[in-house]
Chain A
Amino acid sequence: MKLFGSNKGNDVKRFEEKRRLMGYETFLIGYIVLIILPCMILSSGKYAWMNITLAVILVALVLWAYFDKTFVTSTSWGMRAIYTSLQSERYYMNYQRTHFWRDVDVLLSYDIRDFLEDKIRELAVMGKLGSKMRILLLDPQSPYVEIVEKASNMKPGEYAYYVLQIQNFMLRVNQAATEDSIVDITIKYYDDLPLDNMFRAYDVMFAYDNKQCSEENFMSYSFDGNLNGYNFYRVFFEEKWNDESFCYSKEITGDMVPNYRVFADNDTISYRI
């Protein structure tokens, strides 16, 4: 038995944009061939116009739907929602789904504190029960940290502190894992221009735009599994994760965090494993 979902064997090596109207088109052709045409051919008498009118309405609906750009955007891309706050994202995110946390990819740079505050409890529970988590973070010793801290309104050293907390989280989950569960949490770091945040929980993808100067400071798109949006960000993550010249493993220690004590004293994030 497979422990982790295979995500329907999707090819994650290359991204190809697909039009996902096959179900729609098949239904339509079947409907016209099997229902509308026989009705029109066989109809006679004074009520025959009814079916002809219906056929015209249907064709108009089809053309309207087919050439409506938002239909392609939403259906082919599988865009489920756009959120402007973590609270609304949390409200719509379905934490109850049993397989939701089994296979998790996290790409985190901006707003690391808010992200942890919002999701660390669920990550802890699922990590302990058995979850494959891949976490890609900006190296806290990278010069690019300055950008992240400024954009996220953090103090110097604060980003490094929360990276250390993620590493500690991984160690704690590994220690607390039950005997029959497989805990597989891997953290990698990169030293480059900070990537926009991304979070995949099995078959749902959340892509975050860095909105440092908008009113809400937050904008995320969620995408349903195996459609263009999901596939794009999945391939994007895989490319980065598997590129050894881009990311690497590393151990973060307390002495890499300037002002560690100050941040530790003000840290309000708590979770139980």
Chain B
Amino acid sequence: MTESLGSEERSTAASSEAAASVLPGGESTARSANTLDSSAESTDSAQLQSSVIELDSLCVNYDKPVLDSLSAEMRGSCIGLLGPNGAGKTTLLNTLLGFKRPSSGKASILGHDLKSGNQWVRSMVGYMPERDAFIAGMTGIRFVRMMAELSGLSSKVALERAHEVFFYVGLGEARYRNVESYSLGMKQLAKLAQAIVHGPRLLFLDEPTNGLDPPARARMLQLIREIRDSGDTHIIIASHLLQDIESCCDEVLVLKEGRIAKYCNLEEERRSNRQFLLMQIRGDEIAFVEGLRNLGCEVALPNRRRIKAIIPEELDISQLYELAESLSVQIRNLDYKRDSLEDIFLRAMDAD
């Protein structure tokens, strides 16, 4: 049904050149090798499978330590960055974008050290800031085209992709309007457009749904998921909205007071607690609990008539009903509980 964003530009470029190109480099690999790290080409195809961001005892100090010895290897296709105010999210973003230098330790993006390969890294990332950010006096299309050219695209390709990306984010009809005249939601989409116009391998989104009404928010999240599912781009989302993170991300990094409080794969984290059940019963509670234990469950009784059970992997829920039937116990309520991101986040905040 759909066709790739870059199809037209590829048809206008020499086909052999386009076919040969794997990275921003393709046709003019030798030329770009002067400015961008040529080793990128060999490592790049493997990057989607290997680590996206690697932090190795990363410390950033202002007057006091803001990031304290962060170590993590992030591999997810969409990674949520969470933490309360002052936890260090902004500083981490600043550092990864090359705006702040680490005091010690190192960070690498897509296998390239930030210190030595800063220019290469910047050519590979897209960034959507939280606050209003645009270039005054420009139409949307000119703004995005300029951003694409600054990322290294030729003028012609930049124009083509700017048009395409504007339609892609749903601003096609407004692309000739001045950016200053856009509504808040349109500005958010324009910021997303400039962040993805050059087809980055890593996309930083800082509070992407800030100030959006529910339909616009849903649209933005849908776009993020589409970009994620394209497989071409890894995404880092910093947001206070846990629902947004939960709906898009497969991994989360929770920061607390400049340290990593939790880094986990959401699905694995949920899976580890998927057998967690809360039951309310009427009947012989003691016999039912005993029966559960005989089935291999860990059982706790937080209060009267409520049973909390962690059931083993191999146990099917239907066996519980069979047990209840055999003991003439009524299961009045059964809550199949999965850990939400909020649970994970709150647990990380509570942990020392």
Q: Do A and B come from one complex?
A: no
